[in-house]
Structure 1
Amino acid sequence: MTIWIGVTTHIDNGEEHDIYPNHPLQYVERTYLDTLLHFGMNPVLIPATKDKEKLQEYLSGVNGLVLTGGGYVAKKPAPSLTLQNTGTERYQFEMEVLRQAIPLSIPILGICRGAQMINEYYGGSLSSLSDQFLPVHYNKEGSPPNNCLHDIEISPDSKLAEVLPFQKNTVNSFHRQHISTVGENLKPVAWNHTVIEAIEGTQHPWMVGLQFHPEHLWQQDNRWENLFQSLKEHADPLSLSK
């Protein structure tokens, strides 16, 4: 059975500070795609569109969804942080993606920004990392993406613990803001001290948001393979019909 996984993209408008000035882009780091392909899933890039009916066509044709990371985040703390200020077009698009995808009960994996999007969709909020935590949560630009910075502790009462049967592990990290208030229908399931590192949906069959990047971890630590195998299993229509 072919398993199709929708993947959200990063949006550049071709502005001076963007990757390719004067050339608007929608793109995604290929590691997401390579990882899905490696585990027998077929990625489908979902273009940012304001056409809700067209988006519905895309989502009706996929078996799962990955909300990717990426996007500029202000380096200085702000009184009120929201992803809406780190790419308004992408924010509005991914909000609509979640609005349409959640009722379909397809598995949803949010990575880094993707986890924060899930949290904001459910009414949660973000804060800037304090000076205490910033050095071990934001990898310097140019650092290897599999460079691990800190430990996480996983709640034994979680879907994450079911597929990752180890309470503590070291992960990579590329964020300057973090989930401060958890949204409705979500629960925190992993932490680095007081910083939330993973959330799960309490009213959804399989919804996992991770503040770190497992797509860069599984090749050096094969225990993370279980996460993508679980995504595949829950996205497989034949598996769900058994």
Structure 2
Amino acid sequence: MFIGITQRLICNQSYFEERETLALDWGRLFNLEIFSGFLPLPLSYEIDFSMYEKHLSAVILSGGNDLSIYDHGALSCKRDDYEKKIIKYCLKTNTPLLGICRGAQMIAHYFDSSLNSCINHIGNHEILLNDDANCVVNSFHNYAITALGKDLISLAKANDKSIEAFKHKDKNIYGIMWHIERENGLENVNILKEWLNLIKEKQ
């Protein structure tokens, strides 16, 4: 089963070339038992998403880049436009969708949540899940989700009360602010397993 993954957009500095990139961490992640039976399919922004649809069991909106509401550059705008189409598709078809860090911000913003600049969200920090379990997660973002739109439910919060994980009330859409593909990204996998089980149920 293929899980489509959106990629970070960068512009090469030594000579002009726009690039789509995924960290090697993603390949290592899909070698773990928790992702057994799944293969990642990097999505190109130069290929219309409709060309991918029939091949995908789920989609992950990965991290990297700021949302265009904070960075009005062409790359951020291009990525936002593409990921909005993915969200609309997943809403229409109930295809499982997972946002990671920037991806979670994108989903939260789409559903009218509030985001604000934050401090102390670079490095590891403790979060509290809805089942009252504590765990330490990695953190690499400068903008936090401070309030969720009416269609989203909080699953975990940081000590500053910002939202660290959420899901949609009715659709198979989840967001996680930490990077599951990086070190300290899998200390607690309950939310990830819940989302992966949605994919298996749809097969």
Same fold (TM over 0.5): yes
Q: Relative to 1, partners in 2 of residues 1:95 and 1:188: Cα closer, same or farther, differing over 3 Å?
A: same
2:149 equivalent in structure 1: 183
Looking at structure 2, the residues matched to 202 and 220 of structure 1 have their Cα atoms a distance apart, in angstroms, of: 24
Contact 1:82 1:125 in 2 (8 A): no
Structure 1 residue 189 displacement after superposition: 1.8
Looking at structure 2, the residues matched to 176 and 219 of structure 1 have their Cα atoms a distance apart, in angstroms, of: 18
Looking at structure 2, the residues matched to 218 and 104 of structure 1 have their Cα atoms a distance apart, in angstroms, of: 32
The reply on whether 1:45 has 2:29 as its aligned counterpart is no
Q: Relative to 1, partners in 2 of residues 1:220 and 1:182: Cα closer, same or farther, differing over 3 Å?
A: closer
2:91 equivalent in structure 1: 102
Equivalent position amino acid for 1:150 in 2? H
Looking at structure 2, the residues matched to 117 and 43 of structure 1 have their Cα atoms a distance apart, in angstroms, of: 20
Contact 2:174 2:195 in 1 (8 A): no
Looking at structure 1, the residues matched to 27 and 93 of structure 2 have their Cα atoms a distance apart, in angstroms, of: 22
The percentage of counterpart residues that share the same residue type is 23
Deviation larger for 185-194 or 110-119? 185-194
Looking at structure 2, the residues matched to 187 and 212 of structure 1 have their Cα atoms a distance apart, in angstroms, of: 17
1:77 equivalent in structure 2: none
Structure 1 residue 218 displacement after superposition: 6.4
C-alpha deviations, 1:82-123, integer Å up to 9, x for none?
356361111111111111122111211111001000011112
Question: What SS does the corresponding residue of 2:126 show, helix, strand or coil?
Answer: strand
Contact 1:119 1:183 in 2 (8 A): yes
* Corresponding residue to 2:69 among 63, 73, 82: 82
Structure showing greater radius of gyration is 1
Contact 2:128 2:157 in 1 (8 A): yes
1:162 equivalent in structure 2: none
Measured on the aligned residues, the alpha-carbon RMSD in Å equals 2.5
Equivalent position amino acid for 2:3 in 1? I
Looking at structure 2, the residues matched to 219 and 82 of structure 1 have their Cα atoms a distance apart, in angstroms, of: 27
1:146 equivalent in structure 2: none
Structure 1 residue 72 displacement after superposition: 4.8
C-alpha deviations, 1:37-66, integer Å up to 9, x for none?
4322111111113x6xx3112123200111
Looking at structure 1, the residues matched to 179 and 8 of structure 2 have their Cα atoms a distance apart, in angstroms, of: 16
Task: Structure 1: state its 5+ residue gaps.
Answer: 74-80, 140-148, 157-165
Q: Relative to 1, partners in 2 of residues 1:220 and 1:195: Cα closer, same or farther, differing over 3 Å?
A: closer
* Corresponding residue to 1:234 among 189, 198, 201: 198
Per the normalisation by structure 1, the TM-score is 0.72
* Corresponding residue to 1:138 among 118, 122, 125: 122
* Corresponding residue to 1:154 among 106, 119, 129: 129
More strand by share: 2
Question: What SS does the corresponding residue of 1:138 show, helix, strand or coil?
Answer: coil
The reply on whether 1:202 has 2:169 as its aligned counterpart is yes
Looking at structure 1, the residues matched to 56 and 26 of structure 2 have their Cα atoms a distance apart, in angstroms, of: 16
Contact 2:117 2:143 in 1 (8 A): yes
Task: Structure 2: state its 5+ residue gaps.
Answer: none
C-alpha deviations, 1:134-182, integer Å up to 9, x for none?
1x3113xxxxxxxxx21111113xxxxxxxxx61111111111111231
